[in-house]
Structure 1
Amino acid sequence: METTPRSTRLSVLIPFAVVTLIWGSTWLVIKDQLAVVPPSWSVCYRFAVAGVAMLAWAALRRDRLMLDMRGFLFAAALGLAQFVFNFNFVYRAEQHITSGVVAVVYALLLIPNAVLARIFLGQKMGRQLLIGSAVAMAGVALLFVHEARLSPVGPHEALIGIGLALFGVLSASIANVMQATGTAKLYPMSTMLGWAMLIGAGFDALFAFATVGAPVIETRGFYLLGLAYLGVIGSAITFSIYFQLIRTIGPAKAAYTSVLIPVIAMLLSTVFEGYRWSLLAGAGAVLVMAGLVLALKARRPNR
């Protein structure tokens, strides 16, 4: 019998921290990617780089590189949800609202992850996990109020940006729950992710060409370095770690990375963008951390 929840073990906490720290930094990089290149093409380039890196890693691991028809169909569905819809919504949301607000909206990923996991995987949320979620969401609400007060855009632009981000959250949640299904576990993680990213990049290219025209590339050094960072570190490495977390502790608990990411994003913004904290933001960060501790210590209830 387990004496401590699996989610409090170092084998979970270390990758949890790695994913949170890396994804907490990507919001700043994404913002820089929007200067010249249309969002759809930036998303396409990112996942083309990520897919190649992921399959190269699969080859080094000597995982099988091909999928059967069922595997390719699953990879296509995963790619559409995670690497087409989700990220096109994210990049477009950042054209309307600040990266901090988008990061805060993505903290809500916990809710659809828990609901969809209950519906499709039969995973229940215990009392302690529910309490932790409520505490964390209260913290997210305070962070959101703080960000809304600082937002330089009007209410119309803010609503458009938040709406786009919410659609992205739902798309990401669908992909998260897909990774916890039996079908996903039939194939090597690196191979499945590599093909999902490449198929997603292909759909991204078709969408970009249809909506904004021929490819546009920016040769500025920071753009290219940012693209490499987002593709290899912010996608290939982190998604493989994150999806393994989903398989280990379930979509609801894994989604707590998205609850903590806004705090990390704001800390980095303090250093690089002169972000100014307030009592609201500080209280929100404390509540998010408290909710995280409560949720990760929760034992998984019987089905």
Structure 2
Amino acid sequence: MNSAIKLLLFIIVALTWGTTWLAMKIAGTSIPPLFATGLRFLCAAPLLLIILKITNTPLLFPKGQRFFQAIISVFYFALPFTLMIYGERWVSSGLASVIFAMMPVAVLSASMILLREKTNTVQLLGLTLALVALISVLLRESQGAASGQLLGILMLVAAVVIHAVMYALCKKRCCQVSVLTFNALPCLMAGILLTLLGGLVEHPVITHFSTESLLAVVYLGAFAGVFGIMCYFLLQQRATAFQASTVFLVFPIIALSLENIVYGRSLTFGSLCLMCPLAVGIFLTLFGNQLNQRLKKAAHSSALSSSLESVNPQHRT
């Protein structure tokens, strides 16, 4: 029963994250990016606050961490999510999902630099392989493209880096709070900030908003922003960290498939071939610790066995 629940949660999270990129593309077709992202968070925040109230979860971070809570609202929510939707103005939703699938690699890199976390050869191999494969994909996809695509790629890469740095800073500050506390108030603050800023800078005309874009914003906020978060949190509770993280290997496939179905667009054949080494690199980054421990254990067992045989040789006939 537990395995069935884990599988169901994994499928829901993969589908949610895989469809998010197409939804952002649709939302940005008639709603200005800043305003759309603000509305997205304003759709999610009330639901998160209601769940927080029902579960008696604290609204604020512990004392001493509350200024950091405000920093999270800007640098974990407002800025990177705005960069994502801006980036998708020039970059396809499929390629955007591939870039964001590099999050485990970015987190490992940020942890190495900011936290001085130790890594092993397997993880470093995975990190190198994933980076080389991604750079190769980006170079292939940007050949002959408009200059705007390079700007979009840089925005999406910046969003990944900012998220990874914030994740490392949360670990450094021992920011152990509920997933609801982490998301609810920062989400509301980011929503208010971006909606006001978008209204002042972008001058949105509500009558120009298409039904599809509005539905995409509601989907991003109420469903992906709440249901997706809760399902991933439940998945992390029921599955191992590695099992939960493998969703990063699956959701780009969904995003690429959806883009092909809806828009008839796909990555070049060479880029699709590079998805294999990219996936292997991400896998090694995620599974590196466990694989390294198993290799050490196997080497230790082999050495012990050889030592015992040298002490107590067995004659075979």
TM bucket by the smaller chain? 0.7 to 0.9
Give the number of aligned pairs. 289
Equivalent residue number for residue 277 of structure 2? 287
Report runs of 4+ in structure 1 exceeding 6 Å deviation: 9-14, 243-250, 252-256
Equivalent residue number for residue 69 of structure 2? 75
* CA shift digits 1:118-168 (9 cap, x unpaired): 23334322222222233333443444345335x7x42x2122222222222
- How far apart are residue 71 of structure 1 and its match? 4.5
Structure 1 residues 77 and 217 mapped into 2: Cα distance closer, same or farther (>3 Å)?
A: farther
Structure 1 residues 264 and 284 mapped into 2: Cα distance closer, same or farther (>3 Å)?
A: farther
Amino acid at match of 2:228: T
- How far apart are residue 214 of structure 1 and its match? 5.8
SS of corresponding position for 1:299: helix
Q: Normalised by the size of structure 2, how large is the TM-score?
A: 0.75
Equivalent residue number for residue 165 of structure 1? 156
Equivalent residue number for residue 298 of structure 1? 288
**1:243-262 pair list within 5 angstroms:** 257-258=247-248, 261-262=251-252
1:272 aligns with 2:262: yes
Contact 2:245 2:286 in 1 (8 A): no
Amino acid at match of 1:206: L
Structure 2 spans left out of the alignment, 5+ residues: 294-317
In structure 2, distance between residues paired with 1:173 and 1:285: 22
Amino acid at match of 1:174: V
Counting aligned pairs with the same residue, the percent is 20
Structure 1 residues 123 and 53 mapped into 2: Cα distance closer, same or farther (>3 Å)?
A: farther
In structure 2, distance between residues paired with 1:11 and 1:263: 22
Amino acid at match of 1:291: G
Equivalent residue number for residue 299 of structure 2? none
Amino acid at match of 1:56: I
- How far apart are residue 245 of structure 1 and its match? 8.1
Equivalent residue number for residue 190 of structure 2? 200
State which drifts further: 44-53 or 130-139.
130-139
Computing the radius of gyration over CA atoms, which structure comes out larger, 1 or 2?
Answer: 2
Contact 1:76 1:200 in 2 (8 A): no
Equivalent residue number for residue 184 of structure 1? 175
State which drifts further: 82-91 or 220-229.
220-229
SS of corresponding position for 2:265: coil
- How far apart are residue 108 of structure 1 and its match? 4.0
Amino acid at match of 1:295: T
**1:19-34 pair list within 5 angstroms:** 19-34=13-28
Equivalent residue number for residue 305 of structure 2? none
**1:226-241 pair list within 5 angstroms:** 226-240=216-230
Structure 1 residues 163 and 285 mapped into 2: Cα distance closer, same or farther (>3 Å)?
A: closer
In structure 2, distance between residues paired with 1:180 and 1:227: 31
SS of corresponding position for 1:97: coil
Equivalent residue number for residue 166 of structure 2? 175
Structure 1 spans left out of the alignment, 5+ residues: 1-8
In structure 2, distance between residues paired with 1:99 and 1:37: 17
SS of corresponding position for 2:175: helix
* CA shift digits 1:52-77 (9 cap, x unpaired): 22122222323233555545422211
In structure 2, distance between residues paired with 1:277 and 1:88: 24
In structure 2, distance between residues paired with 1:182 and 1:15: 29
Equivalent residue number for residue 137 of structure 1? 131
Amino acid at match of 1:102: A
Q: Normalised by the size of structure 1, how large is the TM-score?
A: 0.78
Contact 2:141 2:267 in 1 (8 A): no
